[in-house]
Amino acid sequence: MSEIALAPELLVTEPGLVAGKVAVVTGAAQGIGYEIAAALSKHGAKVIIADLDQAKADIAAESLGGGDVVALACNVTDEDAVSRVADSAVSQFGSLDIWVNNAGITRDNRMAKMSLSDFELVVNVHMTGTWLGVKTAGAIMREQGRGSIINMSSLSGKGGNFGQTNYSAAKAGIVGMTKASAKELASRAVRVNAIAPGLIRTPMTAAMSAEAFANLESTIPMKRAGEPHEVAGTALFLASDLSSFMTGAVLEVGGGRLM
């Protein structure tokens, strides 16, 4: 059998999949966001860890070696704060190539007992926070003529979770936002994709009771929960040129649940 020759552009010859690129990851002081920041940094990107908790963000940045990893405080629902983070990426590192909208919260309760304030808070952090990230990063990337924006949805936005009418609604909305913004930005070589994780072992899911966690885990065809680094690998793929002809996609990382 003759050897198949790969085109040079398909060969990964750089020291990292995102070498030389500049990334912002929101909510990156812990959990999935931290693992995404770590993966991007490992593969050569300069990374800004943007998080509501400056102290935790500082610790996260230091653990990744400092230098090309910077921590900034950011409330993703504050337009000025989001703009400051984007401007800092450009002023400190020269560009903005990757933006990951990962920041999120939960305020779970049955709809009959959920307060309007808890509904609005969760929707605001996820939906408004993601919209501001896409709008702000997209404006810079359009002028550059390149960029990858990654939004964090969830399988709860596909199937709905009991006690999460707020979270499920927000995560479903992020899918629509991803597709609409991908259409608006595609002509300027700016890609917008989403990741929909399933049950992942994070500080957020650690708040679940052992029984609830086990019950949900039993519905997964792969019979286990995922790990944050498994979501981070998908984010790295979407951030890199390996996914250069993908936009408006929603990649599920859930062990086959709800397929």
Question: So what's the pLDDT on residue 208?
Answer: 81
Please choose, from the candidates 95, 180, 179, 195, the residue with its C-alpha nearest in 3D space to the C-alpha of residue 137: 95
For the ranges 21-35, 41-55, 56-70, the lowest mean pLDDT is seen at 56-70
Q: Quick one: which of 236, 251, 246, 250 has its CA closest to 21?
A: 236
Of 5-19, 25-39, 62-76, 229-243, the one with minimum mean pLDDT is 5-19
Structure confidence by residue, pLDDT tens digits, 221-234 = 999 999 999 999 99
Q: Can you read off the two tokens belonging to residue 211?
A: 């029984």
**Which spans in the chain are helix H?**
31-42, 54-63, 79-93, 116-123, 129-144, 156-159, 165-185, 210-217, 228-239
Domains and CATH numbers, the chain: 17-252 (3.40.50.720)
- Amino acid at position 181, single letter: S
Q: What are phi and psi of 132, to 5 degrees?
A: -65, -40
pTM of the model: 0.92
Strands 98-101 and 147-152, by their bridges, are parallel
Question: CA dihedral in degrees (200, 35, 89, 242; nearest 10)?
Answer: -90
Split at pLDDT 50, 70, 90, the class of 15 is low
| pLDDT tops 70 at residue 1 | no
Burial class (CB in 10 A: 0-12, 13-18, 19+), 189: middle
Asked if 29 contacts 57 with a C-beta cutoff of 8 angstroms, the reply is yes
Grade residue 155 by pLDDT with cuts at 50, 70 and 90: very high
105 φ/ψ sector (left φ>0, alpha ψ -120 to 50, else beta): beta
3-state secondary structure of 228: helix
Q: What is the pLDDT of residues 191-200, one digit of tens each?
A: 999 999 999 9
Q: Is 167 a catalytic residue?
A: yes
For residue 2, pLDDT beyond 50? no
Q: Average of pLDDT values for 239-259?
A: 97
Cross-strand pairs, 253: 197
Lowest pLDDT segment from 14-18, 120-124, 211-215, 226-230: 14-18
Burial of residue 193, with CB atoms counted within 10 A of its CB: 0-12 exposed, 13-18 middle, 19 or more buried = buried
Q: Which of 34, 93, 119, 167 is catalytic?
A: 167
- Beta sheet of 22-26, edge-to-edge order: 69-73, 46-51, 22-26, 98-101, 147-152, 190-197, 250-253
Mean pLDDT for the chain? 93
Per-position DSSP letters for 176-197, written without gaps between them: HHHHHHHHHHGGGTEEEEEEEE
Say what the pLDDT of residue 148 is: 98
